[in-house]
Amino acid sequence: MDKLEEKPAHNKKKKHKRTQVGPKRWKITMWVVISLLSIMAIVAGSGAYYVWSKLQPMPKGEVKKISISRGMSANSVADTLEENGIIKSGFVFSYYLQLKDEGSRFQAGLYELNPGMKKEAIIDKLNAGETIEAETIKFTIPEGFTLLQIADKLSSEGVIDKAKFLELAESNRVWADAESVLAVANKKNLHKRLEGYLFPETYELKKESTEEDIITRMLVETDRKLGTLPDGWQDVLEDSGKSLHEILTIASLVEREVVVDEERALVAGVIMNRLKAPMRLQIDATVQYALDAPKERLFHKDLKIDSPYNTYEVDGLPPGPIASPSLASIEAALYPADTDYLYYVTKKDGTQSHLFAKSYKEHLRNIEKSNETAQ
């Protein structure tokens, strides 16, 4: 028999190749994943450790005085604490404050903090405002003191450098927010530029205050005191036809001439009347100011001194104040007594009060009366 030929098996299904991940490739993938996770864990752990370590207390140390200024941000406070060695990292501490919603209640002031304090203790202290009293300087400027007397007093008490203080007092400049001092403007022939503008008062300032700080504080006090005058005083000033500088000048004359408060307005009235007449003021205190070194008794030759402040020789007011007037004297200059008096003489009975006169003849009689009562 003939052999039958085998027919191709066309109906048999075709086999497909499958791609399989071998054991080796799988192990590599797993190794990469594990490595990445390990690196991330190490980085996270290192970061956490860094933050933790930076928030740990500093080694214990001596107490330090730290000043927190009004308006300082939490970040600025953190930087200040780091600069003073209270904490390790201001950067990390500031983020910790944000995380804990702290810092907004920190209070300004001077604090005693020491390295070694825990962060919670620092935050609690700043929130509570447990400040200490700042070291201060305290001094009193008597009413009627001249600028030179003020400088001598503060210098003798170790508060200022006299030369620097006087140099600043002569400078033509703006003094922070002080306003009344602007009335000085560019006045000529001023013996001392800020004379009469440094208010006589008791002051307490920070110990580290500079000469500039002290002058500014005294000028601002003048503004503050003017603000306590009766309502409408600025309208009265305008109606008087006088500038603030002239009113302070008149007030300084009153201050140096009067001891008895009830007489301030009367003496101011005499000054105003003599200016209107017009008559020379002939006030001894202006001569004393021109001499710089006051005398117990003035002689006729002293009344001839060549000075724009010598009201025996020049008409009208001197170029500026001759001392620091009190508020009472400033008010008297603004509201002088309405009288016809043109003269006054000091009683010699020890009361330091005056006898007032409308005429020169009456004035001469008052001089006789005063001499009769001399002690």
pLDDT digits (tens, 9 = 90+) for 5-44: 444 444 444 454 455 545 667 677 776 677 676 667 666 6
> What pLDDT is attached to residue 42?
67
pLDDT of 140: 97
Average pLDDT in the 81-90 region? 92
Return the bridge partners of 354, or none.
346
Nearest to 219 by CA among 178, 258, 266, 272: 178
CA gyration radius, the chain: 42
**Average pLDDT over all residues of the chain:** 88
**15-19, 36-40, 174-178, 215-219: lowest mean pLDDT where?**
15-19
**pLDDT band, residue 125 (cuts 50/70/90):** very high
Name every residue whose Cβ is closer than 8 Å to that of residue 42 and which is 6 or more positions away in sequence.
none
**Does the pLDDT at position 151 exceed 90?**
yes
More confident of the two residues 128 and 25:
128
pLDDT at residue 2 above 50?
A: no
Q: Kindly state the average pLDDT of the residues 187-215.
A: 93
Hey, which CATH number is domain 64-128, 3.30.1490.480, 3.20.10.10, 2.40.50.140, 3.40.50.10480?
A: 3.30.1490.480
Strand pairing class (343-346; 354-357): antiparallel
User: Cα 48 vs. chain centroid, distance in angstroms?
Assistant: 45
Please give the pLDDT value at position 47: 59
Domain ranges within the chain, ordered by starting residue: 64-128, 136-226, 233-339, 340-375
Q: What DSSP assignment string belongs to 207-275?
A: TT--HHHHHHHHHHHHHHHHTTSPTTHHHHHHHHT--HHHHHHHHHHHHHH--SGGGHHHHHHHHHHHH
Q: pTM for the complete prediction?
A: 0.72
* 295-315 residue pLDDT tens: 888 888 989 999 999 999 999
For the beta carbon of residue 303, count every other beta carbon within 10 angstroms. 14
pLDDT in tens, 51-75: 777 788 889 989 998 899 888 999 9
